[in-house]
A and B are shown apart, each in its own frame.
Chain A
Amino acid sequence: MNAFEPDFIIIGSGPAGVSAAVPLVAAGRRVLMLDGAFGMAETVQGARWERTLGSHLQSLRPDDGTSPKLQAPLARDLINGFLDASAIRGDNFVAVGSLGRGGLSQVWGGQLSLLDEEDLDGWPIRHADLAPSYRAVMARIGVSTTGGGPEAETAALPAGAIASRILARHRRYGLVADFTLWPALNAVLAHPVDGRHGCDLRGDCLFGCERGAIYSSVHDLPLLQKSPHFALTEGARVTELKPHQEFGWAVTTADGREFRAPRVLLAAGVLGSAALLSHLVTFPAEGLRLLNSPTLALPLIAPERLFRRATATHSLAQLGFALRYGHARLDYLTGGFYEVNTLPASSFINRMPTGRRGGRALFDLLSSSLAVATAYFPGDESRTFLHLNRTSEGGGITVRGGFADGLEERAKVILGRLAGHWRRLGLFRLPGAAIATPGTDAHFAGTFPMGGWGNLSTSDLGELSGFPGLHLVDGSILPTLPSKYITLTVMANADRIGRQLSNT
């Protein structure tokens, strides 16, 4: 690759980096992608115990209270590797990031939302600017819904029995003002495409999809690599970004290599990008604000499905829902509805006041009727700040998580209202609803907002104020964080920036 002189260096091979690369490469611009890992983090093939416990038993550990997904081997490897290398610590915050190939898209939940004009209030772009990118990204990653409805033109996978019943009921009962329910839109294939298989509804998704049905940005890399304009360098964990008089930007890696290009696109994930920029910019005294979505989980039971045989479906969200709780534009919750029999039972049994064997038996009896709704608050309900540690403390960044004043009390009221809507649809609330530790949501944004004021803001192309040629293309630049699932928007926004930069 000595002869390869890139026009753009993209740091990170996650969804944002890949989405920015695709239009650039398509336009014939030369792109060098730097990937912090060597190859894949861990294979999802192999014996089942290796997939679920990890080849070095890294997931055979006590329940740490985070989601079962984050405790799966793949996530443990990715996140621990990231935390070790980037010196990021969480304080009342589960710092979620990845240096592995494909970033966090290897362990994501696959849920998709599209922001509408109202959600984009305060952004320097309009919905029309994002719409073509939304379409392009969705066509590339492959999407499906759980059953017909408004997205009937999209491929569909069968929903679980609880979900399809309550969705039918919701439609029959007609509209209510503050609550909406729809078939989930997921980045999972119903039919084979380009070497990826369609979902076989085995419901073992948490441990990585062996069939490649769930989208990961890893799937796009072979296609990109077919282009002579694209090169991927692995094991290139970036430690420093420096303006370079002659070339524009110089990027140094942990193993001492240096890469240069006129423009650098930073797509290392919100925490990873902030860690890299901490050497270049000064964080405010009160810390750098990070938007994240406080998250609730609400266990539910559908008595009508008690003691029935569970239906085969994937472990991803079955339904999407939204609950409006205030008058401001973003004052609504977005959530996903999951069928519990597709999830590992052990962490549910931890919440049962029975013994373990009895708990397992009880779970076997009840699981076909159990569901869980997870809901996200918008980012303005979080109070999370990034602080630079002093060198005497070993350097690095501490992320201090927190909630807006009174959120916990308000959440109780909102949970009650949400439970009321489920009850109307035939689902009853079980004990154990809780707000998760900040960070487990992994919906991060807003550290370097597009169109913001001051020196830590970025242009509508993600270009960092005062540093021409340095663009952020990941979640860092979303100026607001609606409660919706944000990955698709991060990808569409990166695609939009890629398209515009391909003309420069």
Chain B
Amino acid sequence: MARLLITGSTGYIGGELVALARAEGHDVVELGRAAGWRIGAPVPAGMFDGVDAVIHLAHSWAVEDGAPEAANPNIEGAVRLAEAAADAGVKRFVFASSTSSRPNALNVYGRTKFRIEEHLSRSTAAAGVRIARIGLVYGGPRTAMYGLMLKLAGLSPVLPMIGLSREVQPIHVEEVGKGLLTLALSDLQSGDPFILASAGKMTFGTWLRLLRRVQGRGGLIFLPVPIALALLACRMTAFVPLIPTVDPERVLGLAGAAPMESAASLTRLGLTIGDPETRLSAELHRDQGDTALAEASALLTYLTGRAEEASAERLAEALRREHLSPIGLSERIIKSPALIALYEPPATRQDHRLARALYLADLVREAEVDRVASHGFFYSLVTAAVDICLLPVRLILSGRYR
């Protein structure tokens, strides 16, 4: 079993990679803010002790466009980290780059990654450096670019979008993790970058349609948007209050992706890439099952103080059948079901999704025992009184789950 030092371990890929490495029995050292380190800073003493390989995923977004290379902590920091590792006797240094890495990439990210690759190959650590150029990553937690795309594709059947005809090479985050681990642990010849991306290519439009399909939604109509207009819109977001600011980098990243041949790399790594549609359908369906059950348990717990598994399963099935699932209860509500009291509409509102779901939960509860024991006078009195006092709050908040 090996000892790995991983930077960016709290990120989208990092989180999955750490879990995968630990599941395979490896020892993982996470290098990040918690260890008092940030990119560009010297590595705290003793961090490299017994480490077999470093996997460098961290990337700082807080870099001015057009800043000189010497002032870019991403470049400077990567080289410093690689050399420090080599000096400490670490055999391999895996650098997570991108398939958008090229000298003339549209976005700063692509250009920066390319510069880092160059500097690493000229550094004193070059012998142990392996470059992994990663394609369009999907799957796992719905965060980062993947989370954003999933949300966009699920949002509405009409989507204004750029770069629709660009070819993308989707790869599952778990496959990326496996590839990075192989690079860190096996004696492969370094040299040319390894391409961690599917060998097959599809257009970005096809990819978004797939993301909509696997969420059980219908077709997707695109309104192609010229890049200039999209960039203008992004810059405008910085001046409009109350809406999120969109970094033009993201737009340029979408527009600038260009496919790379990955078949040779995948063979060398012994990595098979699964069909994204199959993988995602299974994964999202399982997620939805979990969500339905978690929501059912929350509703029952809210009503009765507890949720028996069989009851929650019955309720989850009914919620799915009535197209109420997922209700979209937030994480906080699922953790503290008592909060439903703030969002619940009056029971008369049977056109309201949450009210209907609670009616079904009440039926399930009523079916549990021969005669539902009442809680006693004072409990009922207080519950009813609190309920009536909360009415104004609920009238405002209940719109959320309509």
Interface-lining segment among A321-329, A343-351, A379-387, A414-422: A343-351
Within 8 A of B (CB), among A345-370: 345-346, 349-362, 364-365
> What string of 1s and 0s marks CB contacts (under 8 Å) between A55-68 and chain B?
00101111100000
User: Which of B347, B369, B374, B382 lies in contact with A356, CB distance below 8 A?
Assistant: B347
> What string of 1s and 0s marks CB contacts (under 8 Å) between B35-49 and chain A?
000000000000000
Q: Would you call A352 and B346 a contact (CB within 8 A)?
A: yes
Interface size class on chain A is 20 to 34
Task: Give the chain B neighbours of A60 by CB distance below 8 A.
Answer: 314-315, 317-318, 360, 363-364
Interface-lining segment among A33-41, A45-53, A221-229, A251-259: A45-53
A51 vs chain B, min Cβ distance (A): 8
Q: Which of B310, B321, B364 has the most CB of A within 10 A?
A: B364
Evaluate whether A357 and B318 lie within 8 angstroms (CB atoms) in the complex, with A352-B346, A362-B380 already known: no
The reply to whether the CB of B302 lies closer than 8 angstroms to some CB of chain A is: yes
Q: Would you call B387 and A354 a contact (CB within 8 A)?
A: yes
Cα(A360)–Cα(B365), bound, Å? 11
A294 vs chain B, min Cβ distance (A): 24
Evaluate whether A49 and B322 lie within 8 angstroms (CB atoms) in the complex, with A350-B347, A353-B348, A362-B384 already known: no
User: Which of A57, A344, A346 lies in contact with B318, CB distance below 8 A?
Assistant: A57
Evaluate whether A355 and B367 lie within 8 angstroms (CB atoms) in the complex, with A62-B356, A62-B360 already known: no
Task: Give the chain B neighbours of A49 by CB distance below 8 A.
Answer: 310-311, 314, 364, 367-368
Task: Give the chain B neighbours of A356 by CB distance below 8 A.
Answer: 303, 344, 347, 355, 358-359, 361-362
A418 vs chain B, min Cβ distance (A): 24
Interface of B is mostly: helix
Task: Give the chain B neighbours of A362 by CB distance below 8 A.
Answer: 380, 384, 387
**How many A-B pairs fall under 8 Å by CB?**
128
Q: How many residues of B contact A (CB 8 A)?
A: 49
Evaluate whether A361 and B380 lie within 8 angstroms (CB atoms) in the complex, with A60-B360, A204-B370, A356-B359 already known: yes
> What string of 1s and 0s marks CB contacts (under 8 Å) between B18-35 and chain A?
000000000000000000
The reply to whether the CB of B388 lies closer than 8 angstroms to some CB of chain A is: yes
Task: Give the chain A neighbours of B386 by CB distance below 8 A.
Answer: 358
User: Which of A53, A62, A353 lies in contact with B367, CB distance below 8 A?
Assistant: A53
Evaluate whether A361 and B370 lie within 8 angstroms (CB atoms) in the complex, with A60-B364, A62-B356, A355-B341 already known: no
The reply to whether the CB of A453 lies closer than 8 angstroms to some CB of chain B is: no
Task: Give the chain A neighbours of B375 by CB distance below 8 A.
Answer: 361, 364
Cα(A499)–Cα(B402), bound, Å? 61
User: Which of B340, B348, B367, B377 lies in contact with A352, CB distance below 8 A?
Assistant: B348
Task: Give the chain B neighbours of A345 by CB distance below 8 A.
Answer: 362, 366, 372
The reply to whether the CB of A169 lies closer than 8 angstroms to some CB of chain B is: no
Task: Give the chain A neighbours of B345 by CB distance below 8 A.
Answer: 355
The reply to whether the CB of B203 lies closer than 8 angstroms to some CB of chain A is: no
A362 vs chain B, min Cβ distance (A): 4
The reply to whether the CB of A202 lies closer than 8 angstroms to some CB of chain B is: yes
Evaluate whether A365 and B347 lie within 8 angstroms (CB atoms) in the complex, with A354-B388, A356-B303 already known: no
- 17 A-B pairs, CB-CB below 8 angstroms? A48-B367, A49-B310, A51-B367, A57-B318, A202-B371, A204-B370, A346-B363, A349-B359, A354-B388, A355-B341, A355-B391, A357-B340, A360-B303, A360-B362, A361-B379, A361-B387, A364-B375
